[in-house]
Amino acid sequence: MKPNAWLADRFGRRKVGSELSLVLSILLLLIPRATLAQADSTWVADQSTLSYHMSHPMHEVDGVSHAAKGKGICHAAKCDFLIAVPVKSFDSGDTNRDLHMIEATRGAQYPMIVVRANFPQSEVTQQWIHAEIEVQFAGQTAHYSNVPFERVHQGSEVRITGTIPLTCSDFKIDRPSFLGIAIKNEIPVRIDMVWRPA
């Protein structure tokens, strides 16, 4: 079997449905039922676009996923939101590059990216939300403070957009190389999600 065929068989997008079921299971496990019952408001992600940006002297690359699921609760002056997305759901427009990125980020061993965000409930009606962020990715955990997200009200739904300043070194990822030159350390991830009341 050719190497690319082996990688495609091991890391391909054939099991996205089962991965999304796993995402939902994670969300239910990580948000306690008692807390949900007491919540002043509960939110569910209705639409999602997560994209990473990779920069190299020869080219710029964006990988996009629409497979993220999310849930959030606001209670006792605090909001806690959770987002989970399969690593292999990101599409940069080049299958070989996507397979190499999955390898570099240890996607077979750690198939999910989990993002937790918390912020004051008082900001839930403001234009800007400033969140404390925890990201679990590639077997590592990183924290980011005071990350700004813009909130736009759309009828009964709310659109939240913002960028988390991830870097390869935050997650001990060996930077992929092209023509002997490694990509930049910065791999910012933009989040664009529409949330609706549960």
Domain with residue 179: its CATH number is 2.40.128.110
Name residue 61's beta-bridge partners: 54
Q: What is the pLDDT of residues 35-50, one digit of tens each?
A: 444 458 899 999 999 9
Residue 16 is given by DSSP the state: H
If you average pLDDT over residues 71-77, what whole number do you get? 92
Q: What share of the chain is helix, strand, coil (3-state, %, to 5)?
A: 25, 50, 25
Q: What residue numbers bound the domain in which 154 lies?
A: 3-197
Does residue 51 contact residue 64 with C-beta atoms inside 8 Å? yes
One-letter amino acid at 174 equals D
Residue 176 is given by DSSP the state: P
pLDDT above 90: residue 131:
yes
Q: How confident is the model at residue 1 (pLDDT cuts 50, 70, 90)?
A: very low
Please state the pTM of the whole predicted model: 0.81
Number of domains in the chain: 1
